[in-house]
Structure 1
Amino acid sequence: MVLLGAFAGLRVAEIAALRAEDVDFMRGVITPAIQYPGQDLKTEMSKTPIPIPAELAVLLNANPVRWGSATIVVGAFGRAVAPYTIETAFKAARVTVGGLPAGFRIHDLRHYFASLLIAAGLDVKTVQARLRHASAKTTLDTYGHMWPDRDESSRTAVSAAMMRTIREGEKALDG
């Protein structure tokens, strides 16, 4: 469940419902199709495939292989679990992890996913697609503060254009 939240950005209801058939383990792609309890996803955009690294695909395949389960996340006896069960297990486990803020929720793993994409330099449209937000506005409203300040790069771009214009003007006057 942690891997799906932190490295694929899935919502808890998507984590609970993710089936082995929704993951292309060979190509490294998750294509969410339903959310718990077998309902349609939040939006059409939520069906957007999510590329994942091969290492994550291997780890996600462990439960279906071990338990013969239809779902990726299973309980102690290899059966599918509800979002409430996932959240309860997460709360119990989080106290064993040092350094997490009080009240850290499973949904905060989705925020972690977004922040790691932004820190890696991905643009807003790519982050929107990976989070499967219906619009870039949602992505910017939620995570816009995380993109690096571009004051210096815009200052440099304007300076370069201004200096070209000045040089071209000087050449025209000389010639």
Structure 2
Amino acid sequence: MPLPLVVAAALSRHIREFAPGADGTLFTTRFGAPYRHDCYGTRIFSAAVRRAGLPPSTTSHDLRHRYASILLAQGESVIGVSERLGHHNASPVLSTYGHLVPDSEDRTRRAVDSAWAACAPPAPRDDATAR
């Protein structure tokens, strides 16, 4: 997965403040052990949701949906989004997020116009400008 600069910067700050565990785990308890799933979901994630000002009902699945929606809105391909989400094909992305794919009519129109302009013969000259 590509590491966005904003995430790399946040991880760098975290690592400077909290050394990774002996096995390289980045997020550990004060004893250096990885967080248990139940602790992560009930305490850590809920606190992060509160600090971020998100609705209390926000889930990690909601954040996954938001991530996919942002990528599509920014023009990432359906195949690219599918790969980022770990799907083996694009069908789940199309069926879930297809309505978010930007309208492609203008892109299609520009692509055909551009291709046609590149191979079209020069426009005939007006007799007045030819003199």
Query: Does structure 1 conserve the Cα–Cα contact (< 8 Å) formed by 2:49 and 2:56?
Result: no
Q: Does 1:85 pair with 2:35?
A: no
The CA distance in 2 between the partners of 1:66 and 1:55, in whole Å, is 18
Query: Does structure 1 conserve the Cα–Cα contact (< 8 Å) formed by 2:20 and 2:27?
Result: no
Bigger relative CO (Cα 8 Å, ≥ 6 apart): 1
Paired residues, number? 114
Unaligned runs of 5+ in 1: 1-49, 168-175
% same residue: 33
- Which residue matches 2:8? 57
Query: What TM-score, normalized to structure 1?
Result: 0.51
Kindly provide the amino acid, as one letter, of the partner of residue 60 in structure 1.
L
Q: Deviations over 1:41-88 (max 9, x none)?
A: xxxxxxxxx121355335335449833413122234432012222211
Q: Which of 72, 78, 86 is the aligned partner of 1:132?
A: 86
Kindly provide the amino acid, as one letter, of the partner of residue 89 in structure 2.
S
| Larger radius of gyration between Structure 1 and Structure 2 | 2
Over the aligned positions, Cα root-mean-square deviation in angstroms equals: 3.3
- Which residue matches 2:19? 67
Deviation at 1:134, TM superposition (A): 1.6
Query: Does structure 1 conserve the Cα–Cα contact (< 8 Å) formed by 2:29 and 2:35?
Result: yes
Q: Deviations over 1:83-116 (max 9, x none)?
A: 2222112123323443x34511122222222122
- Which residue matches 1:9? none
Query: Does structure 2 conserve the Cα–Cα contact (< 8 Å) formed by 1:128 and 1:139?
Result: yes
